[in-house]
Amino acid sequence: MIPVLYAKDAAAFDNNGIGLLKDAVSCIVTEERNGEYTCTLQYPMTGNWFSNIGEGCLIKAKPNDTADPQLFRIKKSSKPINGIVTFTAQHISYDLSGYPLISLSLTDSTASAAMTAGFSASPLSHDFTAWSDKTALENINIPAPRSLRNFIGGQQGSILDLYGGELEFDNFTVKLHVNRGADNGVIIAYGKNLTDAKQERNIEACYTHLCPYAIKTVSTYNAAGEITSQHEETVKLTENVITLLNPENIGHSRALIVDFTDDFDDDADITEANLRTKANTYISSHELTAPEVNITCSFVQLWNTPEYKDIAVLERVKLCDTVTVRFSALGIDAKAKVIKTVYDVLNERYTSIQIGSARASLADTVSQINKKLDEEKKAEKDNKNAAFVDLNNAIIDATNKITGNSGGFVVLSPPNNPEEILIMDTASKATAVNVWRWNSAGLGYSSTGYNGQYGIAITASGEIVADYIKTGTLSAISVSGCTITGGTLNIGNGKFTVDANGNAHAEGYVKAMSGVFGDSDHNFTIGANGSTASLYCGTNSLGGTGGLGITSNNVYIGTDGLSYTSPSTNPGYATIIRSNVGIFRGKTGNDHCQIAIRGREISFFNSGGTDISTVNDATVYEIASIELDYGANYVKLYGDWRSEHPITVDSDERAKNSIDALDCRYIRLIDNLTPRRFRYKSDKTGTIHTGFIAQELDEAMKTANLSAGEFAALDKSGKTWGIRYEELIAPMLAKIKTLDTRIRALEAERG
């Protein structure tokens, strides 16, 4: 077919448009299953219509032997090479990317109805229509704007994501097939019509190990049950990785690292056992060890030859058809879908077709992820509802037993003016074993005869006796002699809880008038070994004699230990730390400095209360604030900090291992890192500094394929990111030495 050129705003395509591109050197159409659909045109600058070809213009070309000619919109052009310009065009369906869909909500809709509704809901008019032979009903929920092309496929909640199937773009009609192709028994075989074949085994997605991990937040609580700090911990397997495949099968070890943190609900317990379960579920639902196999074939299209004219229909091949390829020399005998076609429009024949495992499109990937998340969320929900299911089953079982019972004996005792009702397994009290007995004192059940014992009973005074009770919601004024297993304790709508691991959390105060917490070896005693309302923590357990004591005015540890005095002794500074044996001394009895801690600030005071630090009673230094963050394990110093001597970093060879030379990634890191000049927002002087930006260093590390475990210059642990500048010295020196080597080599070449 000779391609036809149309103007960018053309509306009718049943004519020759601007003209026939007879001078075209080449015109190739490439189409992938649920993927790329493009046309590449090579046209000489001397051609009749060269000056009319430009971005936005349309080309009509035949994409394969069976389909009608399709429209392709030119997106870009190359620079001339030997007077030939290459124009790249996309199928007209790509225009759907420019039409927005603001929102859409449908219930129990077919794919055809959903696509039609979506196309109609766009605020911009267009000529696209939709068709589908899929009959499944799905719910559509698109709350935020997206393009109509993303509505069709390539995004979560898209038509392809929800309904599956195979797309066909037929000019302005979008078709979603259950199966687009067919198996017509076509065989592409060596000695028949196969001219070339290449089998590709792609091990890029083939893994020998799975390395799962998850991040959990660990909280520290004070005596009042309030969270005082939080830090993150990484949960991993004891063996670190799960073996999937012998590394010798692909020549080297290749581990897939997967973060399962988001797979746990907010209240889920992230443990090694739970992580292992999720990892095994992931392994069973993903093909992690099998390489992808694709076969690219060049062949003679026999339907174009005279001797095959009678069976031409059966020998034709199109996208999504199932064909058989046989080539014993390569060990190929495969039957699979056609996943990609490359069609020569001018010569009306395939250049090549590809069959095998289609690489996952974005829509396929989104669909797999969503299905996996839905399955795991359902499993988690099922686990949470296990107790309710158990209760419901118990109710059903009891109902069935009671309503479906046949036989048995109901006896009024005595027959005249009865005192009680008996339900027994025989008619006689003397021989009955299983007995329900109901009288004015209550209702009871005995499995040992009329005279009992009655292990299950409801008495007239309101008491219930039972070994095992299943209940939904239990309301009680008080519970005594209670043991709770297999769950959590929740009092006051979450004000006081005890989880299944024994961790108690209290919102508010925990009060006790007397008693002992702990045992004889590790005890906290309230109301003993001290004055009224004191807390005593074992003899000599902290500090010196007397342990830890709390009274109305002070806290002390031992005779010469840590003490806290009443604020009245030093107004304005509520926290004074003093020790007669340490380096910090109090205000009374000496002239040494005090330390006051307020929030995150540490201030130094002389005996007069002035905010300074005194050295040798002469030199005075101002003390800047210090930020302490034990959760992130760092100390942050504000202001300029100076030292009369250089700061030495430990670098002894005896304290190191795995010593090795820097590879090319570290040099590539320096190539990708940009020096900057900047001002600090907190610096009111406006002084200009030079250095690097932590976020840019992060991007440079990613570009160079360097992880945080391989390069320690970037610190992301604090509230703001930081850079350890000394870590950059070695890569910079490696870069300098590389340049020096190149310079010496060039100088040697020049003589």
Question: Within this chain, do residues 631 and 598 fall inside the same structural domain, yes or no?
Answer: yes
Identify the H or E element spanning 747.
helix 729-750
Other C-beta atoms closer than 10 Å to the C-beta of 491 total: 10
Write down which residue in 304, 335, 363 finishes a domain: 363
Region of 443 please: left (phi>0), alpha (psi -120 to 50) or beta: beta
- Both 125 and 165 in a single domain? yes
Q: What is the pLDDT of residues 654-703, one digit of tens each?
A: 999 989 899 889 988 999 999 999 998 888 888 999 999 999 999 999 99
Q: Which amino acid makes up residue 676? A: R
| Residue 414 within any structural domain of the chain | no
Residue 388: what are its φ and ψ, rounded to 5°?
A: -70, -40
Our separate counts of H helices and E strands in the chain read 10, 49
Q: Which residue has the tokens 């070890």?
A: 253
CA atoms within 13 A on the CB side of 349: 11
Please state, as a whole number, how many other Cβ atoms lie within 10 Å of the Cβ of residue 687: 8
Number of residues that make up the chain = 751
Distance CA 584, CA 613 (A): 12
Per the structure block, which two tokens stand in for 489? 């304790």
Cβ(727)–Cβ(700) below 8 Å: no
Pairing verdict, β 84-91 and 70-77:
antiparallel
Pair 551, 597 in one domain = yes
Given a contact cutoff of 8 angstroms between Cβ atoms, the answer to whether 81 and 52 are in contact is: no
Question: What distance in Å separates the CA atoms of residue 639 and residue 680, rounded to the nearest whole number?
Answer: 12
Nearest to 345 by CA among 746, 696, 2: 2
Find the radius of gyration of the CA atoms of the chain.
40
| Whole-angstrom distance, CA of residue 615 vs CA of residue 593 | 10
Q: How many domains does one find in the chain?
A: 5
Q: How many degrees, rounded to 5, is the angle at CA 46 between CA 42 and CA 51?
A: 80
- Which residue type is seen at 656? K
Whole-number Å distance between alpha carbons of 34 and 696: 37
60 shares a domain with 80: yes
Q: How many CB atoms lie within 10 A of CB 639?
A: 11
CB 299 within 8 A of CB 305: no
Q: How far is CA 151 from its chain centroid?
A: 24
100: closest CA among 131, 121, 116, 127? Answer: 121
414 prior amide bond cis, ω within 30: yes
Q: Map residue 148 onto helix, strand or coil.
A: helix
Burial 523-558 (b: 16+ CB within 10 A, else e): eebbbeebeeebbbbbeeeebeebbbbbeeeeebbb
Q: Domain check: are 340 and 197 in the same one?
A: yes
pLDDT for 89 equals 96
| Domain final residue, candidates 637, 664, 695 | 637
Q: Which position has the token pair 């909280």? A: 219
- Please provide the DSSP assignment of 273-309 as one string: HHHHHHHHHHHHHS--SPPEEEEEEEE--GGGSGGGG
Q: Which of 94, 114, 146 is the last residue in one of the domains?
A: 94
Closest C-alpha among 146, 150, 147 to residue 159? 150
Distance of alpha carbon 148 from alpha carbon 127, whole angstroms: 12
SS (H, E, C) 65-77: CCCCCEEEEEEEE
Residue 140 lies in a domain: yes
Task: Give the separation between CA 450 and CA 413, rounded to whole angstroms.
Answer: 12
Which structural domain range is residue 138 located in?
99-177
Q: Which stretch of DSSP H or E encloses residue 397?
A: helix 386-403
pLDDT of residue 545: 38
User: Would 384 be classed as within a structural domain?
Assistant: no
**Same-domain status, 331 and 197:** yes
According to the 3-state scheme, what is the secondary structure of 626-686? EEEECCCCEEEECCCCCCCCCCCCCCCHHHCCCCCCCCHHHHHHHHHCCCEEECCCCCCCC
Q: Tell me the helix, strand and coil percentages in the chain, rounded to 5.
A: 20, 30, 45
| Residue 711 is assigned to a structural domain of this protein | yes
Whether cis (ω within 30° of 0) applies to the bond prior to 354 is no
Instruction: Please answer whether residues 515 and 506 qualify as being in contact, where contact means their C-beta atoms are separated by less than 8 angstroms.
Output: no
Can you tell me the distance from the alpha carbon of 217 to that of 102, in angstroms, rounded to the nearest whole number? 38
Are 198 and 309 in the same domain?
A: yes
CA distance 644 to 369: 59
530 plus 632 within the same structural domain: yes
Q: Are residues 562 and 627 in the same domain?
A: yes
pLDDT at 691: 94
Whole-number Å distance between alpha carbons of 375 and 381: 10
Residue 466, in any domain of the structure = no
Do 40 and 167 share a domain, yes or no?
Answer: no
Rounded to the nearest 10°, the torsion over CA 666, 669, 675, 679 is -100
Predicted pLDDT of residue 1? 92
In a domain, 164, yes or no: yes
Decide if 572 contacts 611 (C-beta within 8 A). Answer: no
- Is 219 part of any domain? no
Question: Closest by alpha carbon to 159, among 183, 142, 180?
Answer: 142
Say whether both 574 and 676 belong to one domain.
no
Question: In the prediction, which pLDDT does 617 show?
Answer: 37
CA distances in angstroms from 116 to 167, 259, 629, listed in the order given: 15, 39, 57
DSSP, res 370: H
The kind and range of the H/E element at 386 are helix 386-403
Q: 722 and 679 share a domain?
A: yes
Distance, in Å, from the CA atom of 185 to the CA atom of 657, rounded to the nearest integer, reads 63
The pLDDT of residue 543: 33
Phi/psi for 38 (5° steps) reads -135, 165
Summarised one tens digit per residue, pLDDT across range 179-200 is: 888 877 777 665 555 555 555 5
447 in a structural domain? no
Report the chain (751 residues): mean pLDDT per 10 consecutive residues: 95 94 96 92 94 95 92 93 94 94 93 95 94 92 91 86 91 93 71 51 69 90 80 92 76 82 82 92 75 54 47 58 65 69 89 62 40 52 52 55 58 79 86 88 88 84 72 64 66 74 72 58 48 43 40 43 43 37 37 45 52 40 46 57 79 90 90 92 87 94 91 87 92 92 85 66
Q: How far apart are CA 433 and CA 425, in angstroms?
A: 7
